[in-house]
Amino acid sequence: MKKYTLTLLGLAFVPWVATAQLLPITQLPDTIVDHLDRSVNRNAERLQELKQQRLIEQQLQKTLAIKAQLLDPLLQLPSVLPILDTRKQLVWNEVEVELGQRAVEREWLLLLSENQWQQVLEVMPALSQYVHTNKGLDSLDLQLIKLRVPESLDSKHMLRQQLPALLAPYLSRNFIYQPQTQAIEVSTTAPQAAIEAADNNMPAAMCELPISLGMVDTAINPKHNAWPNMTERFALIQQHFLPADIATSYSHGTAVAGVLAGANDGLSPLLPSLTLYSAGAFYAQNEYQQGATLDSILQALNWLVAQQSRVINMSLTGPDNPVLSEVVTRLVAKDIILVAAAGNGGPAAAPLYPAAYDGVIAVTAVDDSNRLYRWANQGEYIDFAALGVKVLTTRADGSVGRESGTSMATPVVSAKVACLLASTPTLTLAQAVQQLQQQAQDLGEPGRDSQYGYGLLTRPLKAGL
């Protein structure tokens, strides 16, 4: 067939002619027809599966989008939170500061020796008018000076300009630290059936040796019926480091103590012969949350050193700062072992402190199937994992229930370290960590990893390693 070129308004067109190709109709064999039918059915089923999978994925995306809009409980605190005493009088304002951290409004801490403080006053005598308290941390050979400054000086830049260059690094806001148990889990009470099941499968103690252990936390309810005989098996020595007129908070510390020493209602103590030195540093921020000032935490640590506590449980986290860092460095130099919660910030969260400091044993949490707690921090600073999800423990109201978080895992590791030291008191931190590595079950990637650290630690203490 010929092709013609048509010209219209100066444009050339080439007509396109299609030819139809007809195939002859033939009868296909039955086997081929059956095969085609099965293929069509399989494809239809696959399409239906893909459609259902797409619907599930869309629903998951909607769920994740909703969850992403839900604020972390800590972020739900108002930017200014008045802390009141029992007479409803203002004690201080807790405020949001740089990087979303929280601190006491316009309060700053200086950690110095007595001689260094005198040098500061010589350079900046006007600073003395802002001194709110000056407390000796005698166990650490330091002075803790708390300043309340005007707004014009309420920044690290402004204050450091006033200090001698060598002393400026020992300055920090009076930051607020948080316990590391998720409130979403706290409200669930363990059913009686679960408690009875736990009674029938009581795990062994970490060790039977007499143990002395320190902890910085909320106060502990001393009247809970889960404590064994106070004079023979469990001695609780408490000291509080908050203003006397602030209402005492008991919830978190009671839960941590229950993991260590609870001995009925389905609870099996990690340490059946325990002297527990409890330094109460937390106040109630609201009905569900507690906070501790850096000031109170440092005083608590100083007291625990004076009680000769070689192992200190710290189920709390907060920001890095030079004041806490210096205290941790001094404690490590004294062969005091700090065991701290890694944090419940989530897999992508920044490192939290004191767990992320060198010389501190950082603990993450797993469930009873060794799966990592979904809100646990991850990172190179993680050292060990322990059971910390839906842990049966004591409540401040006298009941027993389930708690989750890296807070609940931390006392497991503290108990193991304390048992190691009780059997070999001369162990250094490095030697204790080495023995813990030998006791750990490797999880995740072979060797140390950012999720489980060196691996899972469980009860009892293994002998002869």
Domain boundaries, the chain: 76-175, 178-439
Determine what percent of the chain is predicted with pLDDT higher than 70. Answer: 81
Determine the pLDDT at residue 14: 41
Two tokens at 318? Answer: 């907060």
63: burial class by Cβ within 10 Å (0-12, 13-18, 19+)? Answer: exposed
pTM score of the predicted model: 0.81
Angle subtended by helix axes 406-423 and 251-261, to nearest 10: 40
Whether residue 446 has a cis bond before it, omega within 30° of 0:
no
Contact 81, 95 (CB under 8 A): yes
Two tokens at 130? Answer: 């802002």
Whether residue 354 has a cis bond before it, omega within 30° of 0:
yes
Q: Which CATH architecture has domain 76-175?
A: 2-Layer Sandwich (3.30)
Could you report the per-residue pLDDT of 449-464, keeping only the tens digit for each?
999 999 999 999 987 6
Residue 383 bears catalytic tag: no
Contact 209, 273 (CB under 8 A): yes
CA distances from 34 to 254, 260, 333 (A): 70, 68, 80
| The pLDDT of residue 19 is above 60 | no
Determine what percent of the chain is predicted with pLDDT higher than 90. Answer: 67
- What is the pLDDT averaged over residues 365-370? 97
Measuring CA to CA, which residue among 10, 396, 36 is closest to residue 222? 396
Phi, psi of 125 (to 5 degrees): -60, -30
What span, in angstroms and rounded, lies between the C-alpha atoms of 201 and 182?
Answer: 26
User: Which residue in 217, 265, 295, 383 is the catalytic one?
Assistant: 217
User: Which residue in 252, 273, 315, 325 is the catalytic one?
Assistant: 252
341: burial class by Cβ within 10 Å (0-12, 13-18, 19+)? Answer: buried
Measuring CA to CA, which residue among 324, 285, 365, 281 is closest to residue 75? 285
Could you report the per-residue pLDDT of 277-324, keeping only the tens digit for each?
999 999 999 888 999 999 999 999 999 999 999 999 999 999 999 999
The bridge status of strand 234-240 relative to strand 274-280 is parallel
Residues 6 or more apart whose CB falls under 8 angstroms from that of 178 comprise 74, 289, 290, 291, 292, 316, 317, 318
Residue 407 bears catalytic tag: yes
Topology agreement, domain 76-175 and domain 178-439? no
Q: b/e map of 77-114 (b: 16 or more CB within 10 Å)?
A: beeebebeeeeeeeebebbbbeeeebbbbbbbbbbbee
Indicate the pLDDT class of residue 70, thresholds 50, 70 and 90. Answer: very low
The more confidently predicted of residues 139 and 233 is 139
Is 178-439 assigned to CATH 3.90.850.10?
no
What span, in angstroms and rounded, lies between the C-alpha atoms of 44 and 42?
Answer: 5
Residue 265 bears catalytic tag: no
Measuring CA to CA, which residue among 382, 355, 377, 376 is closest to residue 440? 382
